[in-house]
Chain A
Amino acid sequence: MIQHLVDGILVGSFLSLGAIGLTMAMHILRFANFSHAELLSIGAYCALVFDKVFESLLPVLAEKIGPLSMTGALAISIVLSMAVTGLSAVLIDRFVFQRVRQKGEELSMVFASFGMALIIRNVIGLIFGLSGELYSSDIAFAMVLSRDPMLLVKPDQVFVLIAALVLMVLLHLILSRTTFGFSLRAVAENPNLAQVHGVNLKRMIAAVWIIGGGLGAVAGIFYGLSYQITPVMGRDLVLPIFAATIVGGIGSVYGAVLGGFIVGIASNMALVVLPSGYSPSVPFLMILAVLLVRPNGLFGEARV
């Protein structure tokens, strides 16, 4: 029981990171982006490539950091992968979503995002193969925190949780303390009014994609550290991440953070009562429950 709770919090940390970017893009561009979870795959595979490159170029970096299975090479790769993934998100928007946006309506965007998800996922499968990959093939031993009740935590998981929380605090500071943060929130509230006040809408949209892609990359890498990297990880993560945004209320960054943890915990706690085969259905049940009780989520506002 306690083990499920702790596992749920750890799963929640990367779901939250994925949901933040998704909820921001949904709020500002007003469409449900079903290809968002593919940014997590792009990030995870990018880091895998950079990691291998650095390890072969500079063997010093292949040393492990403390008790973690993470190496210096992977640490640098995370930062680079964030940049590359953010840039890919901007490019995907420029070449596909922006053009569909100008031509059609919101519904076309949703269809286009499904199409993009299908393309990205399968191209990754074609390049890297269909089987799973690991950052480190060594077995990471879990620390026994307590024997009764049995509670096991891997050092990597502790790192993932702390790093995710640090990133969230950073984002909070940027959104609440900087001019850039104010502009971003203004655009989300009312794009026309924000533009009247001299906010560059195009630049803000690009910023949302960079933030979403960057955080998504970290989420993907952390998922890879906890389980393994596969081409279909986006397919498996897209529903939990959407559930997190709905639980938190679409458009609310803080809601997304909380929603991610709630969905992570609930999915793991559900294993206590449900056979594990049903766990992919749990996010959907949560969506239904939230829509029944509080349709606009915890922090969301009603908007048509």
Chain B
Amino acid sequence: MIGVISYLVFFATVAAILGIAVLGLNLQWGNTGLFNGGVVASFGAGAYGTLILGGTPQEGHLGGFELFYPLALLGGMAFSGVLAWVVGKLTLRLRHDYLAIATFGVAVAFENVMRNATSVTGGAQGIRGFERPLRDFLGSGFAYNLVFLIAVVVVLAGVYVFLERLTVSPFGRLLRAIREDETAARSLGKAPDKLRLTAFVTGSVIIGLAGGLYSTFYAFVSPQDVLPILTFQIWAMLIVGGAGNNKGAMAGAFLIWGAWTFSGWALSRFAPIEAQLYTGSIQFVLIGMVIVGMLLWRPQGLFPERLVVSQPGGGSREKTQAEGLT
């Protein structure tokens, strides 16, 4: 029984961390209409940044600054933000394909550099020697994992509240305005390029936060954690949940992570031995089918965006739009 509960705690922790990343992506894509093909680069920047800044000194790679944990996490998020700023600055004023290609390129290059720059990132071995915060106090057993889960859920809730506030704020309204009709927004004297860059960087910093929590949870990160499949998983979560809807995004994270974990377990349990080598391929096909299938048959996701119609003089009226907003 305790085994099941401790597994559920573990599962919920990873799902909640991914939920934070999905919320960050939702700000970029759902609210602003920006494509991020390199979710994994933002995630990885946060993960690597946190461990390098917060870890103990190690032979063979950079790190061991032993910063106070919250500072290390902030550093990871900042690293992620800087990376996003560089890419966004170069591409956001061009047509949208450029952002798609450049963000995808960042992810490829990021994984490549993490794997090869052994003196900085530990190469294929990854980064070790990180002391999880409060470990002396809580030990490393079930109690620690439970407290960690609670902390992650609190962060998730905090990010959710922040984004909900942001969405109904004038800034959020502006983001939707440029998503829907950039020319109209421009004619009202708004600066779409600048707004888009702010939204893109903010979203990436949130994804970086998720990455930092992820590497803290495992106290380890390696190039295996920043493979492109993570980007696809996080997209599938948002597509299934419904782009534009923060609650849907979080629900999507738990659904897809559950489906992914379950399919992995079922394949390893029931697939014949000679097919075991191919379980990864089967799972990748499934993720691809979820993405394409949702876009074909239910592009608004399971929980469609609720459009908020702002009215002058307070009081807003809500309506649900079923079609055409993804």
Query: Which residues on A are within 8 Å of B, measured CB to CB?
Result: 26, 30-32, 34, 96, 99-100, 103-108, 110-112, 114-119, 121-123, 125-126, 130, 235, 238-239, 242-243, 246, 250, 275, 277-278, 280-281, 283-285, 287-288, 291-292, 295-296, 303-304
Cα separation A107 to B34 with both chains bound (whole Å): 8
> Does B116 sit at the interface, judged by CB under 8 A?
yes
Q: How far is the CB of A19 from chain B (nearest CB, A)?
A: 12
Q: Quick check: B278 and A126 within 8 Å, CB to CB? A: yes
> Does B196 sit at the interface, judged by CB under 8 A?
no
CB-CB under 8 A from B295, the residues of chain A are 100, 103-104, 108, 111-112, 115
> Does B98 sit at the interface, judged by CB under 8 A?
yes
Cα separation A235 to B229 with both chains bound (whole Å): 12
Q: How far is the CB of B252 from chain A (nearest CB, A)?
A: 14
Q: Quick check: A105 and B326 within 8 Å, CB to CB? A: yes
Q: Quick check: A107 and B292 within 8 Å, CB to CB? A: no
Residue from B98, B235, B239, B326 in contact with A246 in the complex, judged by beta carbons closer than 8 Å: B98
Q: Quick check: B113 and A281 within 8 Å, CB to CB? A: yes
Which of these binds chain A: B101-109, B141-149, B257-265? B101-109
Query: Which residue of the partner chain B has the closest CB to A33?
Result: B97
Q: List 17 A-B contacts (CB under 8 A).
A: A32-B100, A107-B96, A110-B100, A115-B295, A118-B285, A122-B281, A130-B281, A239-B104, A239-B105, A246-B98, A250-B95, A278-B112, A280-B112, A288-B105, A295-B90, A295-B93, A296-B94
Query: Which residue of the partner chain A has the closest CB to B238?
Result: A111
Which secondary structure dominates chain B's binding surface? helix
Q: Quick check: B95 and A99 within 8 Å, CB to CB? A: no
Given contacts A96-B296, A281-B108, contact A130 B277 (CB under 8 A): yes
Q: How far is the CB of B41 from chain A (nearest CB, A)?
A: 10
Q: Quick check: B109 and A104 within 8 Å, CB to CB? A: no
Q: Quick check: B112 and A281 within 8 Å, CB to CB? A: yes
Known A-B contacts: A119-B288, A130-B278, A242-B101. Give 5 more (CB < 8 A): A106-B96, A118-B291, A250-B97, A280-B112, A295-B90
Q: Quick check: B109 and A116 within 8 Å, CB to CB? A: no
Cα separation A54 to B225 with both chains bound (whole Å): 44
Query: Which residue of the partner chain B has the closest CB to A278?
Result: B116
CB-CB under 8 A from B296, the residues of chain A are 96, 99-100, 103, 112
Given contacts A125-B281, A130-B277, contact A280 B101 (CB under 8 A): no
CB-CB under 8 A from B287, the residues of chain A are 115, 118
Q: Quick check: A288 and B278 within 8 Å, CB to CB? A: no
Residue from A99, A116, A122, A246 in contact with B101 in the complex, judged by beta carbons closer than 8 Å: A246
CB-CB under 8 A from B96, the residues of chain A are 106-107
Q: How far is the CB of A12 from chain B (nearest CB, A)?
A: 19
> Does B115 sit at the interface, judged by CB under 8 A?
yes
Query: Which residue of the partner chain A has the closest CB to B87?
Result: A288
Sorted from nearest, which 6 A-B pairs have the closest CB atoms?
Answer: A118-B288, A115-B291, A284-B105, A119-B288, A115-B292, A32-B97
CB-CB under 8 A from A243, the residues of chain B are 105
CB-CB under 8 A from B37, the residues of chain A are 34, 110, 114
Most buried by B among A108, A122, A123: A122
Q: Quick check: B97 and A111 within 8 Å, CB to CB? A: no
CB-CB under 8 A from A110, the residues of chain B are 35, 37, 97, 100
> Does B282 sit at the interface, judged by CB under 8 A?
yes
CB-CB under 8 A from A125, the residues of chain B are 278, 281
Residues facing A in B206-239 (CB within 8 A) are 228, 232, 235, 239
Cα separation A292 to B93 with both chains bound (whole Å): 12
CB-CB under 8 A from A239, the residues of chain B are 104-105, 108
Q: Quick check: B299 and A32 within 8 Å, CB to CB? A: no
Given contacts A105-B326, A280-B112, contact A32 B101 (CB under 8 A): yes
Given contacts A118-B284, A125-B281, contact A291 B299 (CB under 8 A): no
Given contacts A130-B277, A292-B90, contact A284 B33 (CB under 8 A): no
Cα separation A59 to B104 with both chains bound (whole Å): 45
> Does B202 sit at the interface, judged by CB under 8 A?
no
Residue from A107, A115, A123, A278 in contact with B33 in the complex, judged by beta carbons closer than 8 Å: A107
- Interface bits B256-283 vs A (CB < 8 Å: 1, else 0): 0000000000000000000001100110
Residue from B33, B112, B235 in contact with A277 in the complex, judged by beta carbons closer than 8 Å: B112
Q: How far is the CB of B285 from chain A (nearest CB, A)?
A: 5
Q: How far is the CB of A239 from chain B (nearest CB, A)?
A: 5
Residue from B90, B277, B292 in contact with A112 in the complex, judged by beta carbons closer than 8 Å: B292
Residue from A107, A115, A283, A291 in contact with B98 in the complex, judged by beta carbons closer than 8 Å: A291
Given contacts A110-B35, A114-B232, A284-B108, contact A119 B289 (CB under 8 A): yes
Q: How far is the CB of B124 from chain A (nearest CB, A)?
A: 10
Residue from A107, A115, A126, A246 in contact with B35 in the complex, judged by beta carbons closer than 8 Å: A107
CB-CB under 8 A from A96, the residues of chain B are 292, 296
CB-CB under 8 A from A112, the residues of chain B are 291-292, 295-296
> Does B170 sit at the interface, judged by CB under 8 A?
no
Q: Quick check: A111 and B239 within 8 Å, CB to CB? A: yes
CB-CB under 8 A from A107, the residues of chain B are 29, 33, 35, 96, 326
Given contacts A115-B289, A126-B278, contact A108 B105 (CB under 8 A): no
Q: Quick check: A295 and B299 within 8 Å, CB to CB? A: no
Residue from A34, A238, A277, A288 in contact with B116 in the complex, judged by beta carbons closer than 8 Å: A277
Query: Which residue of the partner chain A has the closest CB to B102?
Result: A287
Q: Quick check: B292 and A287 within 8 Å, CB to CB? A: no
CB-CB under 8 A from B113, the residues of chain A are 278, 281
CB-CB under 8 A from B115, the residues of chain A are 277
Q: Quick check: B101 and A287 within 8 Å, CB to CB? A: yes
Residues facing A in B291-309 (CB within 8 A) are 291-292, 295-296, 299
CB-CB under 8 A from B326, the residues of chain A are 104-105, 107-108
